[in-house]
A and B are shown apart, each in its own frame.
Chain A
Amino acid sequence: MNAFSMILARDLRIAFRRFGEVSTPLLFFVIVVSLFPLALSPNADVLREVGTGVLWVSALLSSLLALEGLFRGDADDGSLEQLMLSPVPLGITVLAKVAAHWLIAVLPLIALVPVLALSYALPLQALPTMIAALLLATPTLSVLIAIGAALTVSLRRGGSLVGLLILPMTAPLLIFGSRATDFGVHGEPTAGPLYLLAALAVSAVALGPVAIAAAIRVGVE
């Protein structure tokens, strides 16, 4: 088994054994989405208007919650510096960890979206687009949050800072993703923003690990 798969498998195994921790962001997602109708209006027409936006922003914030501590555990028990010294390039290690946490924390979130979307009276034909947009946008999102997590890895209370650093940079994902979903809702062509999301995902996965590795090296010193 190559190093990437080994690290991926290791992180998945650890996540399964700490299932309580892993499911907290998912519950957070559901709770936040449920709070909006209380704050706005239970009227189906209103919900349909805001549903796309509410789901996207809530998904963003829940992912932030799930990933901002991505490296802290490994930094605290010394396994991060062991991986840094190992023959595995740090970029690969980082990519494996981001992938593992995307599988464990973000994918289940996306799986919950259809049910929640229907509760917001969003039409069925919008769902495939929304899922596709989320699947394309979340890798970039995970990489961005991982950059924030790496920059703050050596800080005791770094978690809240990650949001401040990273959220402005997620604006394009939010824009393209929610617009694509809206196009889907109204039956308009969605290819444009989806392609843009895909392009961003490819760039993020290719370039992100460089920044993440650099930030970790500074943090671990």
Chain B
Amino acid sequence: MPLPRWFHLLGSPPFVYGFAGKLTPWLGAASFLLLAIGGYWGLVVAPTERVQGEVYRILYIHPQTAYVGMMAYVVMAVAGGIGYIWRIKLAHAVAVTAAPIGASFAACALATGAIWGRPTWGTFWQWSDPRIMSETLLLFLFLGYLALRAAFEDREKADRVSAILAVVGVVNIPVIHYSVVWWNTLHQGPSIMKVGSPSIAPEMLVPFLIMVAGFTLLFYWLLLNGLRGEIVERERDARWIRQLVEARG
């Protein structure tokens, strides 16, 4: 099928390498700025929550890392799908870069969830919390993806096989999430503060959203940086890379 010109540009490694290189400083600066503002606001300035005390401040980190983890999987699946259907190597490069970043965010989500859980529930781990379960399964999906890739020596085969796995996984994620939520409604556990419910006071909502934006930009900053490295690695014998190296002196 005929594709628009910008699509072809997006498939050109030198172009993306250069474009990403120009974009990353802005993304990095913006994300660090947002994280600094939101972090200071949320962790220091915002009023203490009545019920949970200081530990509620994890609200400014935990849900965001969980959300970014899930977004990373979607990015991985979409990129893999594009790479598989239109045989665009750069799309596969995006997918493979997103995987470890997403896994790290998912792991952070679990770690911050545990930190939250200890004072709140009395235990580090609460199996019945649907978000913890979903996030754990998401982490396993990332690890499975990475393990599958590692098992193949042929990079092209690894790309295409893991693209299929990522698409199958992304279709499964809503099902998994729904089933875990349903499962949790059957187990009357202690009522955990519902994140994102309308009952968040406005002075907490604003830093919350700033952190969402900050972490999202952080993800894309990490992604583009990693992508540039991945491009260089995949294209290391290409002429444009050699020219770049020579130009650097």
Contacts and interface: CB of A to CB of B under 8 A. Distances in A.
Q: Do chains A and B touch in the complex (CB under 8 A)?
A: yes
Most chain B C-beta atoms within 10 Å of own C-beta, residue among A147, A165, A214: A165
Contacts, number: 68
B137 interface: yes
Interface stretch (B10-18, B22-30, B61-69, B158-166): B158-166
B179 A169 contact: no
A155 B144 contact: no
A171 B186 contact: no
A214 B137 CA distance: 24
Given A169-B168, A218-B161, A218-B164, A164 B147 contact: yes
Contact of B168 (A154, A211, A221): A211
A215 B164 contact: yes
B151 A171 contact: no
A218 B160 contact: yes
B180 A179 contact: no
A147 B168 contact: yes
Interface residues of B, number: 29
A152 B151 contact: yes
B164 A169 contact: no
A134 B29 CA distance: 54
Interface in B141-174: 141, 143-144, 147-148, 151-152, 157, 160-161, 164-165, 167-169, 171-172
B165 A151 contact: yes
A151 B161 contact: yes
A169 B183 contact: no
A37 interface: no
B182 A175 contact: yes
Given A161-B151, A164-B144, A172-B179, A219 B169 contact: no
Nearest to B172: A169
Contacts of A218: 157, 160-161, 164
Q: Top 4 nearest A-B pairs by Cβ distance?
A: A172-B179, A168-B140, A165-B144, A168-B137
Interface of A: 147, 151-152, 154-155, 158, 161, 164-165, 167-169, 171-172, 175-176, 179, 196, 200, 207, 211, 214-215, 218-219, 221
